[in-house]
Amino acid sequence: MANVVLRNVRKTYPGGFEAIKGVDFEVGDGQFCVLVGPSGCGKSTLLRMVAGLETITAGEIDIGGRVVNDVEPADRDIAMVFQNYALYPHMSVYNNMAYGLRNRGMAKPEIEARVQEAARILEIGAMLDRKPRQLSGGQRQRVAMGRAIVRQPKVFLFDEPLSNLDAKLRVAMRVEIRKLQRRLSTTAIYVTHDQLEAMTLADILVVMNAGQVEQIGSPLDVYAKPATTFVASFIGAPPMNLIPLDAEGVRARFGGAVAEAGVLGVRPEDLAISSEPPAPGGLTLDLAVEAIERVGPETFVYGTRSPGGDLAAISSKPGELPPDEIIIRIPGQEAPAIGQRISVVALRHNLHLFSADGRRRIAV
Amino acid sequence: MRGSSPRMTAVRAGRSRIMQKQSVFHSKFLPYMLVLPQLAVVLVFFYWPAVQAVIQSFLLQDAFGLSTTFVWFDNYRELMSDPDYFSAILRTFLFSVAIALSSLSLALLLAVMADRPLRGSTFYRTLLIWPYAVAPPVVGVLWVFMLNPSLGVIAHGLRAIGIDWNPLLDGNQAATLIILAAAWKQISYNFLFFLAGLQAIPSSVIEAAAIDGARPMRRFWTIIFPLLSPTIFFLIVVNIVYAFFETFGIIDTMTRGGPAKATETLVYKVYSDGLLGGNLGSSAAQSVILMGIVIALTAFQFRFVERKVNY
Amino acid sequence: MVEHRKFGNLLPHLVLWTGILIVAFPVYIAFVASTQDNATIANGQMSLLPGGHFLETYYKTLFVGTSGTTREPVGTMLFNSFVMAMMIAVGKIAISLISAYAIVYFRFPFRMTIFWLIFITLMLPVEVRIYPTYKIVADLHLLDSYAGLTLPLIASATATLLFRQFFMTVPDELLEASRIDGAGPFRFFWDTLLPLSRTNMAALFVILFILGWNQYLWPLLITTRDDMQTIQIGIRKMIVTSDALTEWPVVMATAILAMLPPVAVVVLMQKLFVRGLVETEK
C-alpha cells in the first residue's frame, strides 16, 4: 500500500512565519493528487515536507502506513521531479538515471535493464550518452522523469515540472505524465499553480491558499460546488463572477431561509444574453458592454453594472474580478457592440451563494 | 545590471574572440586619445622593461658597469648548469605544491561547512575572508613573532612537545615556516572562491541526490566535488602563481632566503642575485625564465580551465 | 543541508569556529604583544592576555618612532601607504575606464592590436620585471616619488578587462537612444555609462586599494629616503636580526596599524569586495 496521509501538518519558520497552518488529507494508493494554489500558498513547501526536504513543526506525514516525520529523504522510497529538472550536469543521461540505483547497491545488469526500460517508455533511448546541456527542455524533463521511474518508488512527487516548458509542449507533456502514472499505478502528488493542469490531471484536487487547504475533492466537484469564493474564482477560467449582496438582497433572492449578507456567484458560461425575464429564482443583470474578446470558438464579453463607470481598480485577491465587472462567455463569434446596453440571465441552479467573508458555501 | 544572457555567455566563453558592439562611434582621434594614457603606461613600464630584461639577459656586465659584452645564451647556459638555480626551481615548485595543497584543503573544508547551515549568510564569510587584506610582510612579521625560537608563543608550545625548534639553523623548519605563513594568508581567498563555487550549485541538484539515496559523504564526492572541479583547477593555478610571487614579502621578512638558501624561491633569487650579487645579466635571464613559466601557467589556465567551465 | 540530525548541525559550526580561531590567532597574539612591555616579551614571558600598555605603545608607534633602524614614525609611513594605494586605485580605474570605452565603443584601425597589447600585461606581475623597471624609473628621475611608486603598478590590465566585459553587457539600445537624443561620445560616457559602472568601479576600487596598500617589493626597491617609505617597508625594517634590539610592542602595534585600513575596507565593504574579486578573476 502506498498511500500518503497528512494529519494536522503544520510548519512554522524560525522567524515565526506560519507557512502551513494545519493540513489534513489523504491520497489513496495509485491516486493522482494535485496541490494547486497561487504563488506563496505553501503547496511546494508541503510537497517538500512529504519529500523530507523541509522539517515538520507539528503533525504527522504517513507514507504507506509508516510515519516518516523523522525519516531521511533517501529512506522514504520516493522520487521527485523538480521544476528545473535538477539533473546532474556532469553525468550522462544514463548515469543520471542509474545514480539512484547505484546508491542502493543494485547489480549492474539489473540497473541496465531498468534504465533501458525507462528509456524505452519515455523514448529517450537515443540520448543515453548525452549530457544534460546537450538536451532541449522537453528532453531534460523526460530524463528527470526517467530518473524517477527507474527507482520504482512508492510515491512520485512533482514540483511544477511543466512550468519551464513552452505552451504547446506543456499540453503534450501533461497528457504523457497522466498516461505514465496510470500505466505504473504509482501514487503521485503534483504541485502546480496552473488551474487547467490541475483540472486535467487530478483524481483528487487540493486547493490551497495562504498555508491552508480551501477545498479537497474531485476536479469536477470542486468546479461545480466551490467551497469558498477563493476556490470559486481560482478554479475555472475566466473566473466566476462574484457579486456582493447585502442581507436584504440575499433574502429577496434566496427566500427567507438565509438572512445575512453574502456573495452571489455565477460562472461566465452560465450567463446568457437575453431580453426575456428568466425562470423564477434566476438572475438578471443589466450591463454596459466595455470590451469584447473573440478567441475563435467562443467570445468573452466584459460588462459593467454601473453605466459609464470607470473600470474598478484591480482586485487584490488572486483570480477575482474587480467588483462591478461581469464576464459572460458566449459560444460563437457574434457579440454585442461596445457601449451597448444588454441584459443577461442565469438560471437558479447555476447560482452559488457564499457567506460575506467568502469562507463558506451556503446551500440554497 | 541589464544585458541579455546570451551575450554574457558569449563574452565569457569566447575570451579569445573579440566581439564588437553593433552601435559604435566613429570619431577619428578620440579613441586614440582615450587609449593613450593606458597605452603609454603599458609601453613605458611594461613592454620596455620586459624588452630590456630580455636584452640584458644576453649581456654580461662587469662589476663596475663599465663594459658590457653580448654573450648570447651564456647567461642561460650558466643558469641551467647552476645547481643553485635548479634547487631554487625545485624548491619553488615544492613550496607551491605544499602551500596550494594545505591552503586549498583547509579552505574547502571551511567552505563546505559554511555553505551548509547558513547558505547565503555572510556571517561566517565575514569572519573568514579578512586575512586576504593582510600584506605579505605583515604576515611574515606575525608568524616570525609567534615562531621566534626564544620568545614565540607557538615556539614555546613546540618545545613543550619535544620539537627542537630553530628555523634560523634548520633549513627544513625555515621552509615549513614559510609554507605555514603563506598558506595561512591564502586560506581566505580560496575559501571565498570555494564558497562561491558551492553556492553556484543549485540546491535542487543536491536535494535530488539526497532523494536518490546518496548520503552526505557520497554526495560530496559524486556530485559536489565534480561540479566544483573548475573552481579547483582555477584555484590550483592561482595558488601556484601566488606561491611564486607574492611570497616574496613573507620570505624577505622572515628568513631572507636563508638559512643557507633553504627558502630562496625563484623570485627571491632574482632579487638577491641582482641586488646583492651585482650579476644583472643572470638576474635578467632569471626574470625572463620566470616570465616564461608564468605565461605557460596562464596559458594553461585559459585553455584547460575555461574549457571545463560549461557543462 | 538536507539531513535533520539533531547534533548534525553542530559539526559545521564547530569546524567553522576552529577555522576562525586559526585564522585570527596570529592577529590576536600581535594585539596582545602590542599592549605589553618589551622586557616581558623579550624574556619569553608574554602572557596570552592583553596588557596595559595600549595607549602608550600606540602613541609611540604613531608619532615617535623606534630607536631602532627606522627613524620615521609610523604615522608618516601610513600616510605614504595611503597616498600610494589611493593613487594606484584611482589611477588604474581612470585609465582603464577610458581605454575600455575606446575599445568597446569605437571602431578604429589597430583597435585589436592595442587590445591585445593591453591584455598581455595581465600575465606578468611586477616582480618579473623589477630591475629593468627600476632602471627606467631611475632614468626618469622618479625614484623616491609618489609617481615612481605608483606608475609601474598601474600598467596591468585587470581593470580594463573588467570594464570591457561590463560594457559589452550594456544594451545597445541605450547608446542608440542616447544618440537619438543628440548625445556625443562624451555625453554618453559621462551621463549614461559612468553611472551604470558605479558598482563595478566601487568593487574594483576596494580590490585595488588593498593591492596598492599591500605592495612590498616595488616600494622596497625604489624608495631610499626614510620619509618616503610605506608602512610595509617600515614593518620590514623593524625586524632586526638581533632580537635584543627589536622593540616588539612597537613592531606589533605597527603590524596592527598596517593591517587595519585594508581589513576595515574588506569587512565594511564586503559585498563589493567579494564581487570585485570574483569578477576580476574570471
Least confident of B101-110, C10-19, C41-50, C83-92: C41-50
Cell of C276: 570585485
Cis-peptide into A318, omega within 30 deg: no
* Per-residue pLDDT, C64: 65
Cell of B211: 532523494
Q: Which residue has the higher pLDDT, B197 or A251?
A: B197
* Shortest CA gap C272–chain B (Å): 12
DSSP C123-147: G--GGGGHHHHHHHHHHTT-TTSHH
* Shortest CA gap B23–chain C (Å): 6
Write out residues in chain B with pLDDT < 70, as ranges: 1-22, 62-67, 117-121, 276-278, 304-311
**Cross-chain residue pair C16–B141, CB shorter than 8 Å:** no
Helical (H) or strand (E) element with B268: helix B266-272
**Cross-chain residue pair A70–C4, CB shorter than 8 Å:** yes
By three-state DSSP, how is residue C197 classified?
Answer: coil
Give residue A345's pLDDT band: very low, low, confident or very high (50, 70, 90): confident
Q: Where are the alpha helices (DSSP H) in A185-257?
A: 195-201, 219-224, 229-234, 247-254
Neighbours of C236 (CB within 10 A): 22
Chain C contact for B148, CB < 8 A? yes
**Cross-chain residue pair C262–B135, CB shorter than 8 Å:** yes
Name the residue of chain C whose CA is nearest to A56's CA: C4
- Say which CATH class C10-281 falls into: mainly alpha
Q: Which residue has the higher pLDDT, A56 or A319?
A: A56
| Residue C92, pLDDT above cutoff 60 | yes
The answer as to whether B291 is a domain residue is yes
* Per-residue pLDDT, B309: 45
E-assigned strands of A257-305? Answer: 262-266, 272-273, 283-294, 298-304
The answer as to whether B26 is a domain residue is no
* Per-residue pLDDT, B271: 81
* Shortest CA gap B52–chain C (Å): 6
- Determine the average pLDDT of the residues in C69-76: 68
* Shortest CA gap C10–chain A (Å): 17
Q: What is the pLDDT of residues B50-91, one digit of tens each?
A: 888 888 788 777 656 666 777 777 778 888 888 888 888 888
Average pLDDT, chain A: 88
Residues of B in contact with C88 (CB under 8 A): none
- Determine the average pLDDT of the residues in A62-66: 92
Question: What total number of domains does chain B contain?
Answer: 1
| Residue C2, pLDDT above cutoff 70 | no
Residues of C in contact with A73 (CB under 8 A): 2
| Residue A333, pLDDT above cutoff 50 | yes
- What are the residues of chain A with a beta carbon less than 8 Å away from any beta carbon of chain B? 51-53, 72-74, 78-80, 82-84, 86-90, 99-100, 103-104, 131-133, 147, 151
* Shortest CA gap C61–chain B (Å): 16
Name the residue of chain A whose CA is nearest to B210's CA: A74
Q: Please, which residues bridge with residue A353 across strands?
A: A264
Long-range CB pairs of A50-53, under 8 A, 24+ apart, other chains included: A50/A4, A50/A6, A50/A78, A50/A155, A50/A157, A50/A189, A51/A76, A51/A78, A51/A80, A51/A157, A51/B207, A51/B211, A52/A76, A52/A78, A52/B211, A52/C2, A53/B207, A53/B210, A53/B211, A53/C2
Residue A55: closest CA among A25, A20, A83: A20
Which CATH number is B213's domain given?
1.10.3720.10
Interface test with C, best of B45, B104, B217, B275 (most C CBs within 10 A): B45
Name the residue of chain A whose CA is nearest to C2's CA: A53
Q: Position C177: which residue type?
A: A
Helical (H) or strand (E) element with A23: strand A18-27
Record the pTM: 0.80
| Residue A296, pLDDT above cutoff 80 | yes
By three-state DSSP, how is residue A217 classified?
Answer: strand
Q: What is the pLDDT of residues C184-230, one digit of tens each?
A: 888 888 988 888 888 888 888 888 898 889 888 888 888 888 778 88
* Per-residue pLDDT, A124: 92
Least confident of A49-58, A274-283, B233-242, C57-66: C57-66
| Residue C81, pLDDT above cutoff 60 | yes
Cell of B294: 608564468
CA A91/CA B75 separation, integer angstroms:
51
Q: Are A309 and A230 in contact (CB under 8 A)?
A: no
* Per-residue pLDDT, A50: 95
| Residue A255, pLDDT above cutoff 70 | no
Which of C9, C22, C175 lies closest to B23 in CB terms? Answer: C175
Interface test with A, best of B118, B121, B203, B212 (most A CBs within 10 A): B212
| Residue A313, pLDDT above cutoff 70 | no
**Cross-chain residue pair C3–A72, CB shorter than 8 Å:** yes
Phi-psi region of B42 (alpha: psi -120 to 50; beta: other; left: phi over 0): alpha
* Per-residue pLDDT, A323: 63
**Complex confidence, ipTM:** 0.81
Chain C contact for B178, CB < 8 A? no
CA C252/CA C249 separation, integer angstroms:
5
CA C35/CA C43 separation, integer angstroms:
16
Name the residue of chain B whose CA is nearest to A79's CA: B211
**Cross-chain residue pair A53–C2, CB shorter than 8 Å:** yes
Residues of A in contact with B205 (CB under 8 A): 86-89
Residues of B in contact with A133 (CB under 8 A): 310-311
| Residue C244, pLDDT above cutoff 70 | no
The answer as to whether B55 is a domain residue is no
Q: What is the pLDDT of residues C41-60, one digit of tens each?
A: 776 666 677 777 777 777 77
Question: Subunits that touch chain A (at least 3 Cβ pairs < 8 angstroms)?
Answer: B, C
* Shortest CA gap A30–chain B (Å): 20
- Determine the average pLDDT of the residues in C24-36: 83
* Per-residue pLDDT, C236: 78
Q: Please, which residues bridge with residue A243 across strands?
A: A264
* Shortest CA gap C170–chain A (Å): 27
**Cross-chain residue pair B23–C41, CB shorter than 8 Å:** no
The answer as to whether B54 is a domain residue is no
* Per-residue pLDDT, C63: 67
Question: Subunits that touch chain C (at least 3 Cβ pairs < 8 angstroms)?
Answer: A, B
Quote the crossing angle between the two packed helices C270-280 and C248-268, to the nearest 10°.
80
State percent of chain C over pLDDT 70. 87
CA B297/CA B302 separation, integer angstroms:
9
**Cross-chain residue pair C4–A55, CB shorter than 8 Å:** yes
* Per-residue pLDDT, C43: 67
Chain A contact for B220, CB < 8 A? no
**Cross-chain residue pair B210–A74, CB shorter than 8 Å:** yes
Candidate ranges A93-97, A279-283, B277-281, C193-197; pick with highest mean pLDDT: A93-97
| Residue A63, pLDDT above cutoff 90 | yes
* Shortest CA gap B231–chain A (Å): 14
CA B163/CA B155 separation, integer angstroms:
9
Domain that residue B127 falls in: 7-14+82-308
Which of C104, C128, C233 lies closest to B287 in CB terms? Answer: C128
